[in-house]
């Protein structure tokens, strides 16, 4: 495979303000996650035209991480198509993506294009081609195989910067050096039960592990709001202990009061 034998690009740190490609000048340079406290912490949101990495906290949290990554891709992509690249390992691990599931998730199956190469090298090739395509909304690269190294992610980041497309890298496993703009660790979180103790809207516990602009680590409990295509802040569960990664910050301290979540809860019960 000759793909990885490209010359090393000069190491550089793309800044959120500098990533807007010329042909996307009209669009905002970033996209908001949707949850006000998180967006405030991120100084307005995440950069477009950059690589964002989503890592599952544990093997069983892979579906939650996929949901968070897909939500980010949907938000970053606007109306543009989402190229979802899954290699053979990812498909074997989590099953095949279902169109009805995409619909119910709110990602719009009509705008998702699924690419299923067998090998992770081919998946990287497809991601590289997608990263250089200005017409795409977002690229979601899910690899279950060999993790991408620094060189591969740098190459992706350079392509993204030129095209203005956003790439969400979804992977499991241990931390690896990468040229990602941000890295997120995602764990499942207990949802707010509906009537008769039915599972509610999908909730995740996401931790911003690393940000190139030096924004500090922080954990939020979020809930995917399908109808408004955004991550909303999730209200604390009454009487429930929220499982958190051991090295995460204290949830009680990290949760500024916000009227939005409270309103949602009232609206739900009323």
- The stretch among 9-17, 103-111, 167-175, 208-216 that binds other proteins (CB under 8 A) is 103-111
Interface with other proteins in residues 104-123 (CB under 8 A):
104-106, 108-117, 122
Q: What are phi and psi of 171, to 5 degrees?
A: -150, 165
**How does DSSP assign 189-236, residue by residue?**
EPPPP-GGG---S-EEEEEEEEETT-PPPEEEEEEEETTTTEEEEPPP
> Counting contacts by CB under 8 A, is residue 15 touching other proteins?
no
Among 20, 50, 136, 156, binds other proteins (CB under 8 A): 136
Asked whether position 198 contacts other proteins by CB under 8 A, the answer is yes
Span interacting with other proteins, options 44-52, 57-65, 166-174, 209-217, rule CB under 8 A:
57-65
* 200 lies in the site for other proteins, by CB under 8 A: yes
Rounded alpha-carbon distances, angstroms, from residue 67 to 11, 20, 93, 235, 261? 31, 26, 15, 19, 20
Q: Which residue in 32, 103, 176, 255 binds other proteins (CB under 8 A)? A: 103
Residue 164 gets the label, from left (phi > 0), alpha (psi -120 to 50) or beta, of left
Among 43, 96, 149, 262, binds other proteins (CB under 8 A): 96
Backbone angles phi, psi at 193, to 5 degrees: -70, 145
Give the binding site for other proteins (CB under 8 A).
Answer: 23, 60-61, 63-64, 66-68, 70, 80-81, 83, 94-106, 108-117, 122, 125-126, 129-130, 133-136, 187-191, 193-194, 196-205, 224, 226-227, 243
């Amino acid at each position: 495979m000759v793909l990885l034998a490209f010359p090393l690009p000069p190491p550089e740190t793309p800044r959120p303000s500098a990533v807007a490609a010329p042909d996307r000048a009209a669009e905002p340079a970033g996209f908001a996650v949707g949850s006000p406290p998180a967006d405030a912490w991120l100084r307005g949101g995440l950069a477009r035209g950059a690589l964002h990495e989503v890592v599952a906290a544990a093997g069983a949290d892979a579906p939650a991480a996929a949901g968070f990554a897909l939500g980010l891709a949907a938000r970053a992509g606007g109306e543009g198509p989402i190229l979802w690249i899954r290699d053979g390992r990812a498909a074997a691990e989590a099953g095949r993506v279902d169109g009805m599931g995409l619909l119910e998730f709110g990602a719009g199956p009509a705008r998702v294009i699924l690419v299923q190469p067998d090998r992770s090298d081919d998946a990287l090739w497809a991601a590289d081609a997608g990263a250089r395509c200005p017409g795409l909304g977002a690229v979601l690269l899910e690899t279950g195989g060999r993790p991408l190294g620094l060189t591969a992610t740098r190459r992706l980041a350079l392509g993204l910067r030129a095209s203005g497309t956003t790439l969400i890298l979804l992977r499991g496993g241990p931390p690896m050096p990468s040229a990602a703009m941000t890295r997120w660790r995602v764990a499942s979180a207990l949802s707010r039960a509906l009537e008769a103790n039915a599972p509610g809207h999908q909730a995740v516990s996401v931790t911003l592990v690393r940000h190139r602009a030096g924004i500090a680590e922080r954990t939020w409990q979020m809930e995917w709001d399908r109808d408004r295509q955004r991550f909303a802040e999730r209200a604390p569960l009454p009487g429930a202990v929220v499982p958190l990664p051991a090295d995460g910050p204290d949830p009680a301290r990290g949760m500024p009061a916000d009227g939005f979540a409270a309103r949602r809860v009232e609206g739900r019960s009323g």
